[in-house]
A and B are shown apart, each in its own frame.
Chain A
Amino acid sequence: MLTLSHVCKRYPGGIEALRDVSLAIERGQLVLVEGDSGAGKSTLLRLLGAIELPSSGSVLVDGQNTRALGRRALAALRRQFGVIFQDQKLLFDRSAFENVMLPLDIGGFERREAQRRARAALDKVGLLHKEKALPVALSGGEQQRLCIARAIVHRPRVIVADEPTGNLDETHAQRVLEMLDSFNALGVTMIVSTHDRMARERLDGRRIRLQAGTLSEASAAVA
């Protein structure tokens, strides 16, 4: 379903974030991407989520090469993912409800159906009672749950979560991890990057490790 083949990613300035990475992820898998800070975890997730394009090699999503897609097709592909960003990217001038509505607006959902889904997603993460609150009025854990609600609201086939428990205390981190686990149990492919020990212990799935941009151990690398 998701296939990386000899992928390299270089940023301006000559920084090489990923080097010759090959990887295949099957539908419904839970993949834990481990590695130290700067190992290339976020870059890998951005490539898998079609947010960035590889400098060389190919990223195939259901057989579609992300480098070969036009802007419109790439946007359509991105709508199939739910992304939990490391820096959250919440809109601080919009209410929790409006933040969650954004993917549905982009997806062109009918208004009433969109509102119903947004409330259901907020309910799922336990934030329905705070739908009118601005993100600034939410705690760190609530903000993270809001990010999760935004990532799941359009029922994506794949959720890409970049350090979803970073900066959370143990209780909140535990709750977030339970949620991610429950989505995977429903058949959603989960790709989670983390260097959090508890996340590594709590989540049961396939583990891959990145070290200085190289995939040092992977259970299903492709040639």
Chain B
Amino acid sequence: MAKFISKTDLLAWLEGLMKERTLAAPIKEEGVTRFAPVKKVADIVMDPGATDFSPKDWFFPPSETLFTVSKADGKTVITPRTMEKEAILFGLHPCDGLGVALMDLPFLAEPADASYAEKREKTTLVGLACRQSRPECFCTSLGSNPFDATYLDVLLIEAGGGYIVQSKTEKGQKLLASAKLTESNVETPAPPAVNTVPVEGLVAIAPHVFNDAFWTRLADRCIHCNMCAFVCPACYCFDIRDYVGKGGVVERVRSWESCQAAGFTKIAGGYTPRPTKAARLRQRFYHKFLYMPKQLGSIGCTGCGRCVRVCPVNIDIREIITTMQKIGAKVAVGAP
């Protein structure tokens, strides 16, 4: 027997939750599906296929005010931005759950990013299992799978005209208290098959591929926009700048930034340790495949395939992994 919720009851449950909490879910605007606060549940894209942008939008938004600085009675007062209501992030796929877990690594490492930590504490993750995989998906190669509930508070698996409901966390259980769940003997469907990519051993061979001409050739066609980084659930680089608003109130604002930008590492005076396009392109993959594993304990990729989909010149992370493995294997047997 499994816990079950009908499609109508699911929407009713979400609608009820919206009264007290912010509900963020996949919403489509002008053909682009992103996680955004929901105005009415009918707007939610119930089968998001993989949103164009990742759920990091919620925890680490494109732009956010970290704190404000104002003057009161001659004193300088710094006020951090805080989150008013608890929230539900709905409709993320299992790989996106892994994405959130990866985002936790830098942001929750001590000293934790307070604004991120607060959002994580106050947000419950309600995921949707994948009905289908897409050709660019490779989540199973990175330890997740289409029905993986590991990094979610609630997982819904579509079956028998509704959803099988799974929850192992306290947060999830608490949220489900208001859901109209029934006991059902509907069978759990088989998860969809997912393409695989040879990730195993990548961290070990990565240092040997660093100076290969492959990166220069790949950078030939890279246009060095920031899209791969912006849609990535695990890319977390940022910039911080000040804004002065009405009444002289200063806002310190954090915005997405990416290692692909030429100015990313340029210091005042003009020096940059990464002056070539190839060095910048390589940085993105080395950060994911070598530096993150060494510093934070995990490869910085979920296999969601968003970067593959969004790239206008087909820089394909799967092809890069495969090529790195091939080059690495040659180095390992001592070939030139």
User: Do A and B actually bind?
Assistant: no
B interface with A by C-beta (< 8 Å)? none
Which residues in A have some Cβ–Cβ distance to B below 8 Å?
Answer: none
